Structure 1
Amino acid sequence: MSESPVKPQTTTHHSLAGLRTTLRRLAHRAGLSVETRYRLALSATRVAAPELQAGRPVFLETVPPCPAETDGAGNGDGDRDGRLTVRLHMPYAPHRPALDGLPLPAERLPGPAVVWRVPAASSASCGSSGSSASSASEPSGDGPPGLVELLEEELSAAVERMDALAADHQRLKHELAETNSGVLALYVQLEERDEQLRQAHGRILRQLEDALRPPPVRVPGLELAVHYEPAEKHAPTGGDLYDWFVLPDGTVHITVVDALGHGLTSTRSALNVTHAVRTLALEGHSLESIVARTDEVLATFDHELMATVQLVRLDPRSGELVLANGSHPPALLVRGDGDTRLLEVRGRGIGFPLPGSERLLRDRLDPGDLLVLYTDGLTESRRDPREGEQRLAKAARRHRHRPIEEIPAAIAEEMHTVILHPDDTVALTVRRADTNRGG
């Protein structure tokens, strides 16, 4: 008795983060190797990026891997041969996508569409009655691994590969040290190869980091930019994270989180906080209650989590500004005339006793005003945090008229001229557009 045909599953995507997440989970479920999985995600991201950045949706069609079927003449179904088939449709693209140099080569289809057919180790999803699209969006728990677990697995695989290459490199260097006059030339070649591997490793880590750190939202009337700097250059992930999105009423929500610790564990904690805050905000919970409710939600499965958090709501039309805080450093408001003020709100963070924001602080961002949000790595690089806040006010005042995308990095560079104890740093700036200023 022949197996029933597998219907393709189609999902619509409006963001690179959503597309990457769906692909990673589909690839994991199909049993693809970790390397093939992130190559597929990076390739699809590169092809779809121009469309999604232009605000046009893309459509992802997948066919799970199944055993090959043949008819009496020996002909088989091309999509049912043990391969995961992924088709990316871009019906609104003005021209066909470029496919040169993709990490995982793709086949070009008629029109603005491409396909990847990847041999898979598992056919468990063959003939499944569940929707691949819905499964790909489920959170982690007792079921399939979540996004952070998949990213950790990919990062671990990259680190293991680098460790193996480094061990091999050391062995070769030891053998070459015992050879004759050819040692120097071979050593130079190995050093060049090692540098290439370090650069490749860095690119992989930056791609994984980008999956966790969303680009600025585009909102008429507002300019937004962010700068992230890890405490250690070779470990570019940490507990300092941010999130920003537009609520249904048109206001912009911004979350800044600083989770205790460094590395992947603190990254997971910070990501849990941003996801919980986003969910509660989109469900319509009041801003004043979200810090406490986030602690209540996360306390059931992350008992070690401790994080400071700052929440900001900004109406781009009126400039109305509302802040809630949980043990986080105060925001800095820089007026168009250069006057500065710290926006301090008392409260306790996630995992602290009696968590929650004690009140809401309300203010207004006028045209030309600059709001600076940050983590303590920006102001506590020296001994005295208050001295750091004073230096921050001077730096922000000095750089406030620069293009918005330059301001966060310029402030961080000035603040970190002397670093006594390095820490992960996020510097995020929001400026209300000044219609009276030229160009």
Structure 2
Amino acid sequence: MKPQITTLHSLAGLRSALRRLAHRAGLSVELRYRLALSATRVAGAELAAGRPVLLETVPPQPRGPGADDLAGAGTAGDRPDGPEGPEEGRLIVRLHLPHAPRRPSLEGLPLPAERLPGTTAVWRVPVPLPSAGGDAGRDDPPGLVDLLEEELSAAVDRADALTEDHQRLKHELAETNSGVLALYVQLEERDEQLRQAHGRILRQLEDALRPPPVRVPGLEMAVHYEPAEKHAPTGGDLYDWFVLPDGTVHITVVDALGHGLTSTRSALNVTHAVRTLALEGHPLESLVARTDEVLATFDHELMATVQLVRLDPAGGNLVLANGSHPPALLVRANGESSLLEVRGRGIGFPLPGSERLLHDRLDPGDLLVLYTDGLTESRRDPREGEQRLALAARRHRHRPIEDIPAAIAAEMHTVILHPDDTVALTVRRVSG
């Protein structure tokens, strides 16, 4: 049971010694060649440099009287400075590199090794324990060629088994893929059905949220809405138009911060509050500030730009209030255009309200374009977008009113760098 120490000067000698040792200990063929290959990797550089290595082996402890006492001798981890005693059921192999300039790497070895202090590696290999008496009666190991042939035969058998497993797994995978493909097709069909149903519901919701144009003599109105995401056709861009008791047409355009249903709710709060306050008779110049005051009590996160317009269908008088919203565009019947800019701060902004009212006149043939920033800010420069908007409105101003908003949006969105919800609303005054 005493450790055996052998000085080795070549890789061939190291491999041969380990193979014979492993055979004598009864290790499996796989453990045998893993141990030999691992030790070769650890000691290869030393032996190639002409520096000897020491191979120390401790046979496993046999079963029998006193085995527990021997097992209590501890391991290298318990006694790092002393020799390791035999362990029941384990062959201990220590590889010393006494002349190595640095500690060897033990990463990625076929058979993992423990690192001991200094330049020593140790393997504790489980073995089939013989009965008391250790190696007594074991036949002498065969020659090195026989051991190598045995290892080669085991490797071939292992490769054949892996090939069979590979073929079996390929067959199972093919069957699984076929089933998955069929399931995928069913899921795609179901998903398309859900998308269509979802789209129908959202379009119905959109129709409920977006009132049809007001029908009044002397004015033509139309609107185009385009969501930032085709599969989520609701957002924070909303509008409202209605006739006041005195016959004046009121128009509200809102752009609430964000996208999706949350911003839709915020925009609805704004349009409903404005409609209620306007019908109660609050003056136009105070509507933006008053709306903020009303909504601040229950919607603390709301931020929205808003534009309010009043139109007299009979005389064409136009009054506009603004809260941080893009300017309206007025295109005259002769093609001249101008931006109707009013300074102000929107709902949820500091000091909300329109700083003044802008007064103008809509003559027969004149076209008013109200919109949200998704129309003019699809590219990098909003001012460039406003210029393009004026050109597009002039080009399309003579078309039927129901076609103008969509035609303008299509021309403005030939290039979209920043997709956003878009409202384009047009009002044209006609004779009589």
Q: What's the TM-score once normalised by structure 2's chain length?
A: 0.58
1:295: which partner in 2?
292
SS of corresponding position for 1:210? helix
Q: Report if aligned partners of 1:371, 1:429 keep a CA contact under 8 Å in 2.
A: yes
Q: Deviations over 1:360-407 (max 9, x none)?
A: 101111111100000001001111110000000000000001111111
Question: Which AA in structure 1 matches 2:310?
Answer: R
Match of 1:252 among 249, 267, 274: 249
Gaps of 5+ in 1: 1-174
1:284 aligns with 2:317: no
How many angstroms apart in 1 are the aligned matches of 2:225 and 2:288? Answer: 23
1:306: which partner in 2?
303
Between structure 1 and structure 2, the one with the greater Rg is 2
Gaps of 5+ in 2: 1-171
How many angstroms apart in 2 are the aligned matches of 1:306 and 1:185? Answer: 48
Matches within 5 A, 1:406-421: 406-421=403-418
1:393: which partner in 2?
390
Q: Report if aligned partners of 1:326, 1:356 keep a CA contact under 8 Å in 2.
A: yes
2:334: which partner in 1?
337
Match of 2:368 among 360, 366, 371: 371
1:268: which partner in 2?
265
How many angstroms apart in 1 are the aligned matches of 2:232 and 2:420? Answer: 12
SS of corresponding position for 1:332? strand
How many angstroms apart in 2 are the aligned matches of 1:415 and 1:228? Answer: 13
1:239 aligns with 2:240: no
How many angstroms apart in 1 are the aligned matches of 2:305 and 2:174? Answer: 52
1:328 aligns with 2:325: yes
Q: Report if aligned partners of 1:230, 1:425 keep a CA contact under 8 Å in 2.
A: yes
How many angstroms apart in 1 are the aligned matches of 2:270 and 2:195? Answer: 32
Match of 1:194 among 172, 191, 194: 191
Q: What's the TM-score once normalised by structure 1's chain length?
A: 0.57
2:167: which partner in 1?
none
Kindly tell me: are residues 314 and 177 of structure 1, through their superposed partners in 2, closer, same or farther at Cα, counting changes over 3 Å?
Answer: farther
2:380: which partner in 1?
383
How many angstroms apart in 1 are the aligned matches of 2:251 and 2:236? Answer: 17
SS of corresponding position for 2:373? coil
Question: Which AA in structure 1 matches 2:247?
Answer: G
Question: Which AA in structure 1 matches 2:266?
Answer: S
Q: Deviations over 1:155-205 (max 9, x none)?
A: xxxxxxxxxxxxxxxxxxxx9984586876775555344323211110011
How many angstroms apart in 1 are the aligned matches of 2:180 and 2:304? Answer: 52
1:424 aligns with 2:425: no
Question: Which AA in structure 2 matches 1:400?
Answer: R
Q: Deviations over 1:35-62 (max 9, x none)?
A: xxxxxxxxxxxxxxxxxxxxxxxxxxxx
2:9: which partner in 1?
none
Q: Deviations over 1:259-280 (max 9, x none)?
A: 1111111111111111110011
How many angstroms apart in 2 are the aligned matches of 1:397 and 1:371? Answer: 11
Kindly tell me: are residues 384 and 220 of structure 1, through their superposed partners in 2, closer, same or farther at Cα, counting changes over 3 Å?
Answer: same
2:93: which partner in 1?
none
How many angstroms apart in 1 are the aligned matches of 2:429 and 2:316? Answer: 7
How many angstroms apart in 2 are the aligned matches of 1:254 and 1:305? Answer: 21
**Superposed displacement of residue 302, structure 1:** 1.0
How many angstroms apart in 1 are the aligned matches of 2:326 and 2:188? Answer: 44
SS of corresponding position for 2:339? strand
Kindly tell me: are residues 192 and 356 of structure 1, through their superposed partners in 2, closer, same or farther at Cα, counting changes over 3 Å?
Answer: same
SS of corresponding position for 1:289? helix
**Superposed displacement of residue 350, structure 1:** 0.7
Question: Which AA in structure 2 matches 1:397?
Answer: R
Q: Deviations over 1:334-356 (max 9, x none)?
A: 00111101000111111111111
2:31: which partner in 1?
none
Q: Deviations over 1:295-320 (max 9, x none)?
A: 11111111111111000000000011
Kindly tell me: are residues 177 and 400 of structure 1, through their superposed partners in 2, closer, same or farther at Cα, counting changes over 3 Å?
Answer: farther
1:219 aligns with 2:231: no
1:315 aligns with 2:303: no
Q: Report if aligned partners of 1:225, 1:428 keep a CA contact under 8 Å in 2.
A: yes
1:229: which partner in 2?
226
Kindly tell me: are residues 397 and 185 of structure 1, through their superposed partners in 2, closer, same or farther at Cα, counting changes over 3 Å?
Answer: same
Question: Which AA in structure 1 matches 2:333?
Answer: G
**Superposed displacement of residue 325, structure 1:** 0.4
How many angstroms apart in 2 are the aligned matches of 1:386 and 1:336? Answer: 23
Q: Report if aligned partners of 1:334, 1:340 keep a CA contact under 8 Å in 2.
A: yes
